[in-house]
Structure 1
Amino acid sequence: MSFLPPRPEEGDVLPASKTCLRKCWVGKFSEVKECSDFFLEGTTPSLPGILVGGTVKDPDRYKPICQKYKNSYRFATLYDTTNKIPVFSAYTFTGPFKGERPDTWMIEPQLNMINNNINDNSEMILDEGEDPYPNQAGNNDYRGNMEEKKLSRGHLFPCSHAHDQGTEDSTFTLTNIVPQKDTFNSGSWNKMECKVRNTLKDNCKDANNNIKAYVVTGAVPSTNNTLNNRVNIPDLLWTAYCCYNNKKKTWIAKAHWGENKEDVKEKNKKQNTLPSETLAKLYEKLSEHYPGVQVFPDKCSVDIPKTLRLVGGDVLMDEDVHDHCVYDDDCVCSSVGIKGHYLPVV
């Protein structure tokens, strides 16, 4: 007599299966079901020349990683071993969590194979700061001229979107990091991440009224701009989400992007705001680099009618251009004086 394991609750981290006991970078994300679940309907983005129909076009260069930490899958990353930055990271948002940010960084041991010998450690490990890694960025790569170039470590899967401490810790793997202009990272990009978090929390609920959204965040590499002559400094960062809204009984999707350059403060604002755009606009922008790009299945591509933009009497949080909050690393909004008026802390 056999017993089935209990059905996971919404927001549970998926335990690692036997499929990935030894190797957590795979030929296709679909090879590991728990990994493909980070994509809506198991459908990976289509980036012509890189990833099409779930198949990597240059498997020697691009590595699909099922990011595993403490024996559980946390998110998925397509990693560029030439530029030593992620192409994208994909994850499900199932609600916010306020934890503690770790002060250490991790790497993916499977990218350090020598003569095709698989490392027995099957999940991300602490970077011990040894010699430069041949196929990925290490902690030492993010030292040196970081301050001179005014750069910081930018998360693709932001730790503020994690739903528990283990997942938050897992975002501190360098396979989820790109060199990002410091004022951009802490300014308009951080503000966008926090506004999107609030949007997903309030508007993305499935038929069981559980919070769930699919998010993909990526980086477009530069031609020849590098950190320490090893790590590509991307020209553009982009992100998109798609989720079901059980009140309106429809799928909603939005996108944001920004050039990886220093924020220039807008008049009367202490933090710039990245505009909220449709998926169609994002595809138009990314087609400059990946002609024919598609991030989500077609059900997400329908623009949101104006009647659906009002949720609880307000516009979607990430569309609110009048939000003058200054957000910290934990997405806490501080009161900001604008011409003598003060906004409440939320």
Structure 2
Amino acid sequence: MKIEKMLLFLLLVFLPAVPIETEVVRNWSDCPGFFVNQKPPEISNILVGGNILNQTRYKFICQTFGNMTRFLTLYDTKNKIPVFSAYRFTGAQPGRPTGDIWKIEPQLQKSDTPKNQATNSDYSNDQGYQRGHLYPNSHAPDWDAKLSTFTLTNAVPQVGTFNGGKWAQVEKRTKCYMENNCINASGKIEAFVVTGAEPGNERLNNKINITSKMWSAFCCHNSREGVWYSKAYWGDNVPNSNWRESSYKEMKTKFGIKIFPVNFCFSSSSCLDWREIGGRTHVLVSAEFTHESSRWIHKFKGFCHVGLCWFWKVTAQKLDPLEGESSVRGADYISSLKRQTHELLLGHSRLKT
């Protein structure tokens, strides 16, 4: 017990602060509110049934700023990178903090060469890597929450062109999607997000594990439509890499992760992609949902012009069922998707005029 307490103390000593009052906790339940139905991810050989299998190597960190817990991180002290960060998305404030904000609090830093986590000096040599957020400041609801994301326990070495390019697109895409689709019973924006990193085989400055892949997923309920929305993405941490939208079955197979261990997060998801052609707002709608124990993808095309929208079905593809998926009424879901798309496109058209 004394050894375990000492290890926790050492990790606390070497945590960054800006000034972030981080707290290492034994159980995720000591830092509640960041998982759907209070159920953390299942990660093979790391986190099973809500329990860390190797308590010495992996630590839960309550990321706190301004006397408020902002998000939760599962941290790997051996690789010196987070396994994942989990947070509630409730809308985002524009802007980004500037200046030297990736600091380690001097009174907590007892050594120039901390052993349990990364430091700013580890990123000082220009090797094309940046401090890439897991919980991005662009998803934070206020300025204090933005500042709280600039802790090195929430960052991994990301290739600069990937961090500021394709992965930034994922962050923007999910932000836009959640703002328009994730509305709770109180009429407020609310989504549960988990973003993680897959360790690689190389180290930055012979210290920090260089992430091989990034992954992210969210789940939320749209009380206006009475459906659950969910999406998952991943990408290789290499130059000129692109992101991929993924199913939960693929995420479990590829990464050994069950991000949301609940049935309803498999229910449905949809995607809108619009472009301007000849003065008209054209849209491609891709809707994925579960119906009669099978997954389907329905695609529509359409356009809006002078306040009116038209849609027609392009394809309907039946996919393999996913274990634990629940059913939704396909016709009702497509109908609600059309209404929602119509509203979004009308709003988009009005912004242009």
**SS at structure 2 position matched to 1:201:** helix
- Matched-pair contact (CA < 8 Å) for 1:24–1:67: yes
The equivalent of 1:136 in structure 2 is 117
Following the alignment from structure 1 to structure 2, what is the Cα–Cα distance between the partners of residues 282 and 303?
Answer: 16
Which one of 244, 263, 266 corresponds to residue 298 of structure 1?
263
The equivalent of 1:337 in structure 2 is none
Q: Which 4+ stretches in 1 moved above 6 angstroms?
A: 124-129, 314-317
Percent identity over the alignment is: 39
**TM norm structure 1:** 0.70
Q: CA, structure 1 residues 211+294, in 2 after alignment: closer, same or farther (shift >3 Å)?
A: closer
> Does structure 1 residue 105 correspond to structure 2 residue 102?
yes
**SS at structure 2 position matched to 1:208:** coil
Shift of residue 143, structure 1, vs aligned partner: 1.2
**SS at structure 2 position matched to 1:312:** helix
Following the alignment from structure 2 to structure 1, what is the Cα–Cα distance between the partners of residues 177 and 69?
Answer: 25
**SS at structure 1 position matched to 2:156:** strand
Following the alignment from structure 1 to structure 2, what is the Cα–Cα distance between the partners of residues 222 and 279?
Answer: 22
Which one of 190, 193, 211 corresponds to residue 171 of structure 2?
193
- Matched-pair contact (CA < 8 Å) for 1:87–1:218: yes
- Number of aligned residue pairs: 263
- Matched-pair contact (CA < 8 Å) for 1:178–1:234: yes
- Matched-pair contact (CA < 8 Å) for 1:152–1:185: yes
In the TM superposition, 1:24-63 aligns within 5 A as 24-30=23-29, 32=30, 35-63=31-59
In the TM superposition, 1:196-275 aligns within 5 A as 196-223=174-201, 225-263=202-240, 274-275=243-244
Following the alignment from structure 1 to structure 2, what is the Cα–Cα distance between the partners of residues 64 and 97?
Answer: 27
- Matched-pair contact (CA < 8 Å) for 1:309–1:315: no
Shift of residue 247, structure 1, vs aligned partner: 2.4
Which one of 130, 134, 153 corresponds to residue 131 of structure 2?
153
Once superposed, what is the RMSD of the aligned Cα atoms?
Answer: 2.6
Larger RCO, structures 1/2 (Cα 8 Å, 6+ apart) = 1
List alignment gaps of at least 5 residues for structure 1.
1-21, 108-123, 265-271, 318-343
Q: CA, structure 1 residues 316+138, in 2 after alignment: closer, same or farther (shift >3 Å)?
A: farther
- Matched-pair contact (CA < 8 Å) for 1:151–1:182: yes
CA deviation vs aligned residue, 1:102-157 (integer Å, no higher than 9, x gap): 421145xxxxxxxxxxxxxxxx789879612111111111112xx23x11110000
The equivalent of 2:246 in structure 1 is 277
List alignment gaps of at least 5 residues for structure 2.
1-20, 270-288, 290-297, 299-333, 346-350
In the TM superposition, 1:61-72 aligns within 5 A as 61-72=57-68
CA deviation vs aligned residue, 1:243-274 (integer Å, no higher than 9, x gap): 0012220111000000110016xxxxxxx6x3
Following the alignment from structure 1 to structure 2, what is the Cα–Cα distance between the partners of residues 284 and 63?
Answer: 24
Following the alignment from structure 1 to structure 2, what is the Cα–Cα distance between the partners of residues 25 and 58?
Answer: 15
Following the alignment from structure 2 to structure 1, what is the Cα–Cα distance between the partners of residues 253 and 112?
Answer: 41
Larger displacement relative to structure 2 (172-181 or 49-58)? 49-58
Shift of residue 42, structure 1, vs aligned partner: 1.2
Q: CA, structure 1 residues 309+296, in 2 after alignment: closer, same or farther (shift >3 Å)?
A: farther
Whose helix proportion is higher, 1 or 2? 2
Q: CA, structure 1 residues 76+125, in 2 after alignment: closer, same or farther (shift >3 Å)?
A: farther
- Matched-pair contact (CA < 8 Å) for 1:278–1:303: no
Whose strand proportion is higher, 1 or 2? 2
Shift of residue 309, structure 1, vs aligned partner: 5.0
In the TM superposition, 1:328-339 aligns within 5 A as none
Following the alignment from structure 2 to structure 1, what is the Cα–Cα distance between the partners of residues 158 and 108?
Answer: 20
- Matched-pair contact (CA < 8 Å) for 1:65–1:78: yes
Q: CA, structure 1 residues 204+23, in 2 after alignment: closer, same or farther (shift >3 Å)?
A: closer
CA deviation vs aligned residue, 1:308-340 (integer Å, no higher than 9, x gap): 6546326999xxxxxxxxxxxxxxxxxxxxxxx
**SS at structure 2 position matched to 1:283:** helix
- Matched-pair contact (CA < 8 Å) for 1:86–1:219: yes
